[in-house]
């Protein structure tokens, strides 16, 4: 034996280390094969990329939206989201329900859901190597998730996602000073009361 007993032991330990390292990498990768975000179609994601949870259930079920392809919008930084397509054939005719794989799973899930907006979901599956081109913009392509299971996210899983009324839409209803419109109205009414009295007094003095 050219390496001797010590050499054989060292080589064996080295390969054992590589095996454990590789197994650990695979295990870590499998742990990451779970995604939580908002279920949305690609067409609506392009329009609501900053607030995908606001997309309405009825909109998702429209034929044009279904044909654009379903996927998931995952939070990727502060108020930014990344879109992933689901696997399967895109719908071409909702009457025939000809979508397959993750596309059909998503459609059935939306139909069964009772939530109109802000529906967080958790997807378990596998990230595929190939990207799928956008049906709305030829210059875009997205990574694809092979869906194994799709379920409504638990409160713990969705803790970092906005809920109804907590997204950018809420901020648009506020006044420039940051106060809700209701507070502004009350302040106007309080100041309006003395003004109406002074006008009445002026009219009375004028009539005399």
Residue 13 lies in a domain: no
Strands (E), 11-160: 34-41, 70-75, 81-86, 120-133, 141-152
Residue 179 lies in a domain: no
Structural domain harbouring 77: 34-152
pLDDT of residue 202: 42
Residue 12 lies in a domain: no
Exposed/middle/buried for residue 57 (C-beta within 10 Å: 0-12, 13-18, 19+)? middle
- Total domains in the fold of the chain: 1
**Residues contacting residue 58 through CB under 8 Å, at least 6 positions apart:** 116
Longest dimension (CA), the chain: 127
Summarised one tens digit per residue, pLDDT across range 61-73 is 999 999 999 999 9
Summarised one tens digit per residue, pLDDT across range 124-153 is 999 999 999 999 999 999 999 999 999 999
Residue 132 lies in a domain: yes
Residue 147 lies in a domain: yes
Q: DSSP 3-state assignment of 19?
A: helix
Residue 20 lies in a domain: no
Residue 49 lies in a domain: yes
Residue 102 lies in a domain: yes
Integer-rounded Cα Rg, in Å, for the chain is 28
């Amino acid at each position: 034996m050219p390496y001797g007993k010590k050499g054989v032991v060292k080589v064996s330990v080295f390969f054992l280390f590589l095996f454990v390292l590789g197994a650990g990498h695979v295990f870590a990768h499998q742990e990451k094969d779970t995604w939580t975000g908002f279920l949305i179609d690609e067409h609506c994601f392009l329009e609501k990329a900053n607030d995908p949870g606001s997309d309405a259930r009825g909109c998702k079920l429209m034929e044009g939206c279904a044909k654009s392809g379903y996927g998931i919008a995952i939070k990727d930084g502060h108020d930014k989201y990344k879109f992933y397509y689901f696997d399967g054939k895109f719908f071409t005719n909702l009457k025939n329900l000809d979508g397959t794989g993750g596309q059909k799973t998503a459609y059935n899930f939306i139909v069964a859901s009772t939530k109109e907006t802000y529906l967080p979901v958790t997807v378990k599956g596998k990230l595929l190597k190939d990207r799928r081109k956008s049906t709305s913009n030829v210059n875009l392509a997205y990574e694809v998730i092979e869906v194994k299971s799709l379920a409504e996210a638990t409160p713990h899983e969705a803790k970092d996602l906005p809920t109804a009324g907590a997204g950018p839409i809420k901020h648009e209803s506020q006044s420039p000073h940051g106060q809700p419109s209701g507070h502004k109205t009350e302040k106007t009414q309080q100041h309006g009361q003395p003004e109406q009295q002074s006008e009445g007094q002026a009219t009375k003095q004028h009539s005399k």
